[in-house]
């Protein structure tokens, strides 16, 4: 597991939903550095089915070397949030890190989702994240560390993630959209990022949704805690990212992930919203008996590239690529182009130095863009803004919208050459 470095000693970390599960795991990881932890959660009295209260979490935090401030907070209540923030500032002198972890989930379709449940998910996930961020931002601005971390998924417009649980998806994506907006709004002042697991994480909520059999297919909460800890140590310039736990830990040098598994060697349940295995996850929701396994796709042979305006554009794009661009983007884009010199092209910004080519990439694309060749050339030369192309229907996008936006920024840098 990722070792503690002591860098968070004396930092104040405000965590919603920290009485148990992922929130408490992140709290304990930071506490081992000697951090101050504000436990902002609802559970003050023991629950009949869920273990842990804000007070038992405080005891655990102090047992590993941290300082704890348990606060009764329902993130739907703006006054409770404000009171907890003021208590934190009075006790610890400020706030350095905010973790928006509190969440409500109901994987139900439209007709089976009551108004009460719909309101709960919107008010806890989307509204609660906004209110808590707003209350903490004035103090985060004064911090040298200054991180907001939302436990929310990458924005992915693949309909498979909407059709079974539309209300939950929209409520959860609200948290992710704050990452997009606030990262830009507070650039240079506060790092704002999202963190999401590659596989199911075992918590009381996971067992409630998937039954006791789900446990062996999950990883421990420690993998999320380690990934969050890695993010907290990065500078404020590391912002606007949708981080997957396994990916960032691989970058930290961790190669073996069985240590995080509940049952090492057992097939793992992929998490929601990640397009590597969408159909497997969808089927899993429909039939609890199916256990999806990770599979590697074999590279497909590539056809010969064509000539013309599109090929010329890709050639210039390739000449503009660098290791820094690839490291900053970490995505593969697939272009399905209609018209003269069209066909399927890819832009690989995951491999070292980046690459372009005609045909399918060796790995599954994160974003698929469909448009005419004429509009493609105009878009890359700056004559057609991607946002306008998308809104007017000239450009269709499938996949991770956040990574699509990253490509737009990259195109702005290349326009002078194209």
Measured CA angle at 222 (ends 221, 226), to 5 deg: 125
Those residues whose C-beta lies under 8 Å from the C-beta of residue 273, and which sit 6 or more positions away, are 153, 154, 156, 161, 169, 172, 196
Pairing mode of beta strands 355-358, 343-349: antiparallel
C-beta neighbour count of 73 within 10 angstroms? 27
Please choose, from the candidates 106, 156, 98, the residue with its C-alpha nearest in 3D space to the C-alpha of residue 128: 98
Q: Is 236 exposed, middle or buried (CB count within 10 Å of its CB: 0-12, 13-18, 19+)?
A: middle
Rounded Cα distance between 238 and 107, Å, is 32
Sole residue written with tokens 């949704």: 209
Active site residue 168: yes
Write down the catalytic residue from 139, 168, 202, 333: 168
Taking alpha carbons only, the member of 415, 351, 354 closest to residue 383 is: 415
Ramachandran sector of residue 393 (left: φ over 0; alpha: ψ -120 to 50; beta: rest): left
Catalytic residues: 168
């Amino acid at each position: 597991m990722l070792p503690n470095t002591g860098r968070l000693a004396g930092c104040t970390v405000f965590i919603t939903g920290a009485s148990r599960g992922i929130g408490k795991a992140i709290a304990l990881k930071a506490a081992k550095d000697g951090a101050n932890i504000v436990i902002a959660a609802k559970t003050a009295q023991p629950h009949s089915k869920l273990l842990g209260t804000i007070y038992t979490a405080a005891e655990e935090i102090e047992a590993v070397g941290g300082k704890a401030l348990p606060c009764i907070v329902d993130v739907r209540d703006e006054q409770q949030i404000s009171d907890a923030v003021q208590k934190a500032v009075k006790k610890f002198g400020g706030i350095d890190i905010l973790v928006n972890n509190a969440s409500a989930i109901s994987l139900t379709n439209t007709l089976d989702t009551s108004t009460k449940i719909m309101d709960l998910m919107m008010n806890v996930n989307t509204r609660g994240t906004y209110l808590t961020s707003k209350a903490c931002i004035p103090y985060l601005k004064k911090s040298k560390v200054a991180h907001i971390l939302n436990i929310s998924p990458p924005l992915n417009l693949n309909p498979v993630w909407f059709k079974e649980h539309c209300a939950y998806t929209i409520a959860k994506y609200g948290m992710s959209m704050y990452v997009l907006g606030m990262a830009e709004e507070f650039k240079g002042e506060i790092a704002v990022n999202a963190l999401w697991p590659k596989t199911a994480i075992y918590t009381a909520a996971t067992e409630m949704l998937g039954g006791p059999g789900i446990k062996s297919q999950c990883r421990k909460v420690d993998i999320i805690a380690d990934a969050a800890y890695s993010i907290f140590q990065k500078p404020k310039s590391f912002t606007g990212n949708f981080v997957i736990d396994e990916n960032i830990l691989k970058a930290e040098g961790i190669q073996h992930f069985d240590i995080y598994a509940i049952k090492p060697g057992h097939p793992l349940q992929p998490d929601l919203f990640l397009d590597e295995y969408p159909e497997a996850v969808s089927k899993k929701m429909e039939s609890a008996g199916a256990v999806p396994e990770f599979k590697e796709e074999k590279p497909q042979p590539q056809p010969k590239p064509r000539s013309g305006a599109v090929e010329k554009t890709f050639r210039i794009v390739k000449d503009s690529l660098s290791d820094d661009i690839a490291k900053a983007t970490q995505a593969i884009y697939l272009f399905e182009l209609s018209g003269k010199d069209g066909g399927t092209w890819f832009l690989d910004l995951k491999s070292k130095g980046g690459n372009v080519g005609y045909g399918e990439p060796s790995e599954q694309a994160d974003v698929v863009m469909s448009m005419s060749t004429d509009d493609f050339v105009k878009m890359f030369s700056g004559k057609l803004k991607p946002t306008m192309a998308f809104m007017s229907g000239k450009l269709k996008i499938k996949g991770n919208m956040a990574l699509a936006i990253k490509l737009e920024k990259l195109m702005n840098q290349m326009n002078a050459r194209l």
